[in-house]
Chains A and B, each alone.
Chain A
Amino acid sequence: MNKPILVIEDDQEVRSALRMVLESNGLKVIEASNGKEAIEKLRSGISPSLILLDIMMPIMDGWDFLSHKATEPNLAWAPVIVCSAADRNHPLAHLAVEFLPKPMNIDRLLRTIETYRKDS
């Protein structure tokens, strides 16, 4: 029960602000500063209940992360909410369950997390 939420975001201030929000709502948080770091964490056995994903990031961006995640069955199951004003018509857009453009309304973010979070 209560698996962590993986926040993939290159902006350290945004990461820690989201952490405060999520933790104040009793959710555990794991951070990754780019797609590559996130993939490594997932491969190391971390099993998040949901992923909050930024798109514009150095080293490995959000789209690359989605495409990598889709090709590895072990990582594929966690739902992804894209936290960015990214293009919803992107060929990989179907790999995300929801798109929330920044600055996200926190209540809506929490509701969406509740909707898609998979604790089991």
Chain B
Amino acid sequence: MFSISDEELRRVDLELGRRAAVAGITQPMIYLAYRYLVDFPLGIPRFLDAIGFVLYVMSFIRVSSYLIQRKDIPKFRTSVPWRDIFRSSAYGLAFCWGAIGVSSLLLYGGSFPFFLAVLIIFGTFSLSLHSYGHDLVMTRLSTLLIVVPIILTLFAQRGPNYLALAFILIFGLLYLQFLAGNAHKLFWEVLQSREMVHVQRDQLTAVLDAIPGFVFWTDGAGRYLGANRRLTELYGVTSQDFVGQNLGSLITDREMIKLFEKFLASSESEFVADTPFVTATGSRWCLVAMRKYQRSIHTYVVIVALDIEEHKRAQAELEAIQVQAQESARLAALGLMAGGIAHEINNPLQVIRSLAYVLKRNALNESKEKSTADALQLAGQLATQIDDTTNRIARIIAGLRDFARVGDGDPIEEVNFSSLLNEIVQMAKMSQAASGVSIEIDPFDEKLTFACRRTDLGQVLINLINNAIDASLMNENPTERWVRLHVSDKGTDIEIRVMDSGPGIPENLLDKIMLPFFTTKFSKGVGLGLSISSSIIKQNHGSIGIDRTSPHTCFVVTLPKLQNEKQQ
């Protein structure tokens, strides 16, 4: 429902008719005045009557030609009824014809065929001028070019006084033409503006109705000025039912009204929020946006409420899926590492077993081969080594426990990057796949620390390193299978580059690899590693991408050194 009604537009039409009428009536009045003041020679009055008549005919023709030309605009015909158009133009015509009728027929008894002939001649002339495009100057000029020499000639024959009168008359005519021209000009401008209002109103209505939500606008006191169709249909009302009413007459949601009143009272000019919006059909999540605008001293407010219920639901589902996927990926990584984990624990167990064997043998053979002191010293060394080795196993198990745990609730802590990276590389080496791949860390500042969730970053790094290992295994030369990690301090950020000696990622896949469930290793993965890494990095306000200029595949992770706990 648009606030400018057809009724108002009709009023504009009628106003235009009145103006045309004013333009029409000024000319015959002046004409009648000079007709009584001047004693014309025989034959002239009738001619001057004809000239006067022509002026009014031209008014008529202007209105008519306008109507003829506007026929090609369907909007005009549909939005304003023909009877209104005729009614408005009839004002002007009635005055013209009335004036002509009175001045000619009553005073001189002019014949109708004569008027008709003049009408046809000047009408054709005027129309041809109009065909140049409403050139009012040309129309006025054409009239004066005909009238002025005739008046001058006729008046000059009667003496100097009459010549002076002729000049006054001519200037009077010029002035009247100017007035009439202005009226016509105004007439055209208003008609064109009205046409523009029509078009813009239709466009705006279409836009408002196309918005998948509720749009309404009010004045500064919160009274409705209009609403889009979706809202009025929801409440089954028309614009007349609520325009001018208070906001509460349509919107029954108290919270929404409170929100609106608060915004109205505030100095803010804009407000946007996600909020539940209770409508006639129930509560829906909406993105509500309000905006104030000023027109002279008045304030108006536009309120848009977009239904984002589906979006919210989808978002919640996506978040749940992401959590699950993260969990699955973690478990999948643990599964892939199972063989490696066994290897990693069996190695220190092997050390313990071997040392225990030597210790036992040492104890049994002590008298034969070594002095008691030497044997005891060796026993001490072996026991220390066994103790160290059990610590090694404990560290591996602690690392695994950390990795398997969900770290969402973990605090952001200051992490020594060197120790974290070494731990992660150790973990990566546990993977069965890492066999035959050398993993190197380029030297960097071992004191480098930054704030992050340890488990989060660990998961990202292990994903990237595992991917790099898989890629480098595709290198046909077994001695050229490597993964290289490069860490650099970029001031406020830390940059981690993970490179591999694999064959590289095909150009056409570069844009897809971060997508969930996209994988090139069908038998080994489900395609979640990079998408999860990407979402973790985003949560930590960092970025992840590929350095396309690098000769080898190179993933680049950038993370800010400082994390704001509140943002998490």
Contacts and interface: CB of A to CB of B under 8 A. Distances in A.
Contact of A14 (B350, B434, B437): B350
A14 B345 CA distance: 12
Contact of B434 (A36, A56, A104): A56
Contacts of B429: 58
Contact of B438 (A14, A18, A58): A58
Contacts of B385: 13, 17
B520 interface: no
A59 B436 contact: yes
A106 B389 CA distance: 17
A55 B435 contact: yes
A93 interface: no
A57 B347 contact: no
Interface string A73-93: 000000000011100000000
A119 B432 CA distance: 34
Contact of B343 (A17, A21, A58, A102): A102
A106 B439 contact: no
B346 interface: yes
A72 interface: no
B479 A105 contact: no
A107 B357 CA distance: 9
A24 interface: yes
A17 B355 contact: yes
Contact of A13 (B346, B353, B361, B389): B389
Contacts of A104: 350, 353
B358 A60 contact: no
A45 interface: no
Interface in B344-364: 346-355, 357-358, 361-362
Contact of B351 (A13, A58, A59, A101): A13
Interface in A31-49: 36
Contacts of A14: 347, 350-351, 354
A14 B342 CA distance: 15
A59 B349 CA distance: 24
A102 B312 CA distance: 53
Contacts of B362: 24
Contacts of A84: 343
Contact of A85 (B346, B389, B438): B346
A59 B483 CA distance: 11
A57 B429 CA distance: 9
Contact of B349 (A24, A55, A64, A102): A102
Contacts of A58: 429, 434-439
B469 to A, nearest CB: 10
A103 B350 contact: yes
A60 B436 contact: yes
Contact of A64 (B392, B436, B438): B436
Given A58-B438, A85-B343, A103-B346, A20 B353 contact: no
B98 interface: no
B347 A21 contact: no
Interface in B362-418: 362, 385, 389, 392
B478 interface: yes
Nearest to A64: B478
Contact of A56 (B348, B350, B435): B435
Which residue, A18, A58, A60, A85, has most C-beta atoms of chain B within 10 A? A58
Contact of B353 (A36, A59, A85, A106): A106
A14 B357 CA distance: 13
B436 A57 contact: yes
Contacts of B502: none
A57 B349 contact: no
Contacts of B348: 13
Given A20-B354, A59-B479, A85-B342, A102 B436 contact: no
Nearest to B361: A24
A103 B353 contact: yes
A103 B343 contact: no
B340 A56 contact: yes
A89 B438 CA distance: 26
B340 A106 contact: no
Contacts of A55: 435
A36 B436 CA distance: 10
Contact of A103 (B349, B358, B432, B439): B349
A115 to B, nearest CB: 18
Nearest to B386: A17
A98 interface: no
Contact of A57 (B353, B389, B435): B435
Given A13-B347, A13-B348, A60-B436, A21 B340 contact: no
Which residue, B354, B392, B434, has most C-beta atoms of chain A within 10 A? B354
A82 to B, nearest CB: 13
Contacts of B351: 11, 13-14, 17
Contacts of A62: 435
Nearest to A59: B438
Nearest to B360: A106
Contacts of A21: 354, 357-358
A72 B479 CA distance: 18
B35 to A, nearest CB: 118
Which residue, B357, B392, B479, has most C-beta atoms of chain A within 10 A? B357
B543 to A, nearest CB: 31
B479 A61 contact: no
16 contacts: A11-B351, A13-B351, A13-B392, A14-B350, A17-B350, A17-B358, A20-B355, A21-B354, A24-B358, A58-B436, A61-B435, A102-B347, A102-B350, A104-B350, A105-B353, A107-B357
The 8 closest A-B pairs by CB, nearest first: A17-B354, A103-B349, A102-B346, A61-B436, A56-B435, A106-B357, A61-B435, A58-B438
Given A18-B350, A20-B355, A64-B436, 15 more contacts: A13-B385, A17-B351, A24-B361, A55-B435, A56-B432, A57-B436, A58-B434, A58-B435, A59-B438, A84-B343, A102-B343, A102-B346, A104-B350, A104-B353, A106-B353
